[in-house]
Structure 1
């Protein structure tokens, strides 16, 4: 218990929150906080329950610790306090039943139905009314009751996420209940579904647990019909290969930082690439509709179709690239969908082992990192120089000649600004000659 006391002290629940409690007030630490503590996992999110509306307590706690308070569910009086700059959140909610034991029985899974009082003597007594501690020891995921999934169908996806994140197995009756409730998943807000799908693909080895989605009948509901036979199996295979490639890439610190970069809330680059690999194999009939139905943010909604359209045969070009850092970086940018995303994703189609693919791609990735400025690879000469020195004026011709210059760099025939200007002047002369029939 002493380690939990330190965790609570670091989060300032002790003494800041406990000092705010009025005499005789019940206040309990519940749910995933205790599950993760008992499993020895890092604890950064705290679930706090009281018999009545805890909004006032939460607001006073936020003021005491300098955190930010906001209401998450007005009807259920659920709110959150975020401790600024510390990565700690505290969720406050009233009991879902007249008393604590009733509240615990109304929770989703037994491993989340544990409680510890924040008042009284230390060490406190752990409350377990549905056998959650035994299920934790057995690494078993078991529903608290037969109606929990129809009360909130999102719990079906949450169950898959728990299996993926914690390495638990589903109890058979719970699996049956989840499969029955999968049919009413359309009752759930898309934003909530998106968060769970992102969490599943963010798990340590998501491909190992994606078949559970299929066995529950969730794949079609989440991703729509597939265009190809055995699309789900192919999607799982590609997701598993992408996992292995990114795991090998992450051995490099710079690549690891790029993979862990959060592109939008709850979605890292690593997660996006694994999800994109799965969708590449799954081949949904309506990719645009999928982005809309999952309420994907702008970056993900743009990146997924671009990655899906990458010609797999371009992966073979890597071996033939000249050893010119800028040219190699420009080649990666020419793939579209962002140089980093595209380079990591196109490696999916190399035939070598994930270890060999990572070893080949890492030098190119370093070239992209070294050559990029403000998220792009700058041209050796800019559009203004082209307009002023080649007399092409405004319009698409400027972009066209700069694209030709990039191709020359990729081929290794242009290596610096001086050679770039020489090439462009020669190109401009050819354009003029072609347009005038050889006369000025």
Structure 2
């Protein structure tokens, strides 16, 4: 078996095109993506203020007059009406929302503009002049006060328009409004339970969330992200390279001659697992060392970190070795190398996109992000990044188990379909 493994190493090391794909291309892409996209996607945790248009269609004085007329129509006594109207401005949700959006706590996060009319704001949204439009509609105060004091069905609603392609910023704006409405509803409930004494409490403007970084760790940099991403992506090409060489050995009768001299088929298949595993480990180690030298990717090294890096690398390399065995088994059994071409030309690219090797998928969609963690490259990329952020093995161990499960499935299927006797 060791002779077969040595042969695989010599074959690949003499193929300059394979070395270019496995080693040179990832380093080139790390440099290009790190320099070109790093400033756009990875800015060390700093976030420019989100331009937001606030459109106020609500007229408080008119709403108070209309509400007073409603109270008179309900037949409430004059002293009760006076008492209610005295607390109306304290409860006005439109005023509270404006105070929240204008608060110093949100000034670094929200760049608020209030000079727009509704049609102008929507046009600004379409041209990316603003990323969100918050509209306080007509009779908003009236509807809220009626729902509170007269227990009518609430119809007040704050309208939010956002740009879909700016999902991260849109989520921030939506979270702020959601937090405001939740807290305001809580304040109304308290006021209702205490007989309308809402003036004793206040809407907090400080608890609308925060950015949390792992203690003592810097956020992931562009070069760190793309080093892991390109390493995970190009490691998959090892599987197609190993299986492609195996098919060549079958077509030039090398495999048949090995069988004639007593080499067992499963030993041959096992050699492809070992070759794929060792080749992937060598590739990943070279890429990590090269990236550290040229881009200072790993600059906080300690024994625990290195051991966990080695564990991650071994698990992923073993999975690539198992995948190489599966592709080899399919190519040999069906006497066709199309599977290697399909894998390297299509499957790798699709997995790289879903797994976040090319772009941070968590900024695109939570569903795609979760789906990516079910691909071997995506799961391992998350494991590497979590390790680099200072998380413990127990935090990303489920991802390693998931990838090992893929390796076991590939090995079982490869053994099941690989020819055990005659090779034609």
TM-score band w.r.t. shorter chain: under 0.3
Whose strand fraction is larger, Structure 1's or Structure 2's?
1
Higher relative contact order (CA 8 A, sep 6+): 2
**Given the two structures, how large is their TM-score scaled by the length of structure 1?**
0.23
* Bigger proportion of residues as helix: 2
TM-score, scaled to structure 2: 0.24
